[in-house]
Amino acid sequence: MSRFHWTCESTDGAARAGMLHTAHGPVATPTFMPVGTVGTVKAMTMDAVRSTGAGIVLGNTYHLMLRPGAARVRALGGLHRFMDWSGPILTDSGGFQVMSLGALRRLDQDGVTFRSHIDGSEHRLTPESSTGIQHDLDATITMCFDECPALPAPPEAIAASMRLSMRWAARSREAYVQRTGYGQFGIVQGGTETDLRAESVKALTDIGFEGYAIGGLAVGEGQELMFATLDSTTPIMPTDKPRYLMGVGTPDDLLGSVQRGVDMFDCVMPTRAGRTARAYTERGTLNLRNARHATDARPISPHCDCLACTRHSRAYLHHLFRANEILGPMLLTWHNIAYYQRLMRQIRQAIVDKNLDATAARMRAEWAAQDWTEDEMPQPLIPPIP
Ligand SMILES: [Zn+2]
């Protein structure tokens, strides 16, 4: 079984193309991890997720501890068996969800007590219990339990929160059971304050983890400030460990963050957009509910090999959403995840070819361009019924 480690295969500027080696197989980086919060990538079968080329998916401690419970998942063979995903799984620690979803939370130095958003029952998460739950789930990558302050907050509050999270990171590491091929990531906090981020990186690298995440961004600070924070943070992070930017983002966010040295991402955007008729394409986004798609026999994208694009027209997708048919969200989620995976493959290839900046400029120009014209994509491209 492979030791958990990350190897760098190629660099272009600050961007890195590498390979993450885990007990559940390798993952090419940079990588986008579809979000499987409750043990399912919403509206997708696992075969569909696999068909997009996704190498690793997310699960969530907060949601799974409340329902169905970590002990039950463990008794049923762990999260991989439970959700039928043999590849690596990263589990979020629950810290962010306790803050955003848990009602009547009480934070103390030891942990957080909160009420379930499902039935109001009282629960408690500490660095030790979060790490234990992720162990029961059999997460390939365990995240440290951290505290996520609501923003905006004054620098003193951000500093106090970051230092609490660093003490919790040490306790999470203490509680973590080392296994071959498994890893635990520390989470760099500190808001958009350069010196606090540096203090956090130092605290985490002193403890020592298999990878390092950047938390507390994409919470409303805007892309410019997020990129500025990455510009000062990634250069002081270890060069031989994977870097994971949590909860990000749009295709342009991913591209700009890879250019700043980030290797791993997760975000609900492509799955959530897929349930609300919004499609990501090489030419920006489309709203399939829009009347202009009602008679359009073309696929969403001429470059996509997903089921929505190879077998169905925009007009059919439009019809499914107008009729509130469940197949609409299923097909469009599939398409969006396929797009995100294709994007990451193209970005990775550009790093290997050492032309990421030119590729990025071309991608950004295309996102800003209009939909494909009739000349660029004559209709119909949908193949006949077999
Ligand atoms: Zn597609």
Q: Which residues contact 205 (CB under 8 A, 6 or more apart)?
A: 212, 237, 238
Q: Is 12 an active-site residue?
A: no
93 is in an annotated binding site: yes
| Torsion sign over Cα 372, 378, 382, 383 | negative
- Comparing CA positions, the residue from 361, 167, 358, 363 lying closest to residue 283 is 363
pLDDT digits (tens, 9 = 90+) for 161-182: 999 999 999 999 999 999 999 9
Q: Which of 12, 92, 138, 296 is catalytic?
A: 92
User: 96 a known binding residue?
Assistant: yes
Q: What would you measure as the largest C-alpha separation in the chain, in angstroms? A: 64
216 is in an annotated binding site: yes
Mean pLDDT of 267-294: 98
pLDDT at 202 over 90: yes
Q: Where in the chain is the domain with CATH 3.20.20.105?
A: 17-266
CA of 284 to the centre of ligand 1 (A): 13
Residue 275: predicted pLDDT: 98
Q: Give the span between the Cα atoms of 234 and 125, in whole angstroms.
A: 29
Residue 231 is a catalytic residue: no
Task: Summarize the confidence of residues 46-75 as an average pLDDT.
Answer: 97
pLDDT tens for 4-15 read 999 999 999 999
Sheet with 103-107, strands from edge to edge, namely 103-107, 112-115, 122-125
Percent helix, strand and coil across the chain, each to the nearest 5: 40, 20, 40
Using alpha carbons, list the distances in angstroms from residue 310 to 33, 69, 304, 313, 382. 23, 39, 7, 9, 6
Q: What pLDDT does 1 receive?
A: 66
Judged against a pLDDT cut of 90, whether residue 385 lies above it is answered with: no
Q: Say which CATH superfamily domain 17-266 falls into.
A: Queuine tRNA-ribosyltransferase-like (3.20.20.105)
Q: What value does the mean pLDDT take over residues 357-383? A: 92
Q: How far is the CA of 84 from the centre of ligand 1 (A)?
A: 23
Q: How confident is the model at residue 110 (pLDDT cuts 50, 70, 90)?
A: very high
Check whether 335 is labelled as a binding-site residue: yes
Give dist(CA 95, CA 101) in Å, integer.
10
Is-above-0.95 flag for pTM?
Answer: yes
Is pLDDT at 226 greater than 70 in this prediction? yes
Lookup: tokens for 43 = 């509206």
Indicate the length of the chain as a whole number.
Answer: 386
Q: How many CA atoms lie within 13 A of 351 on its CB side?
A: 28
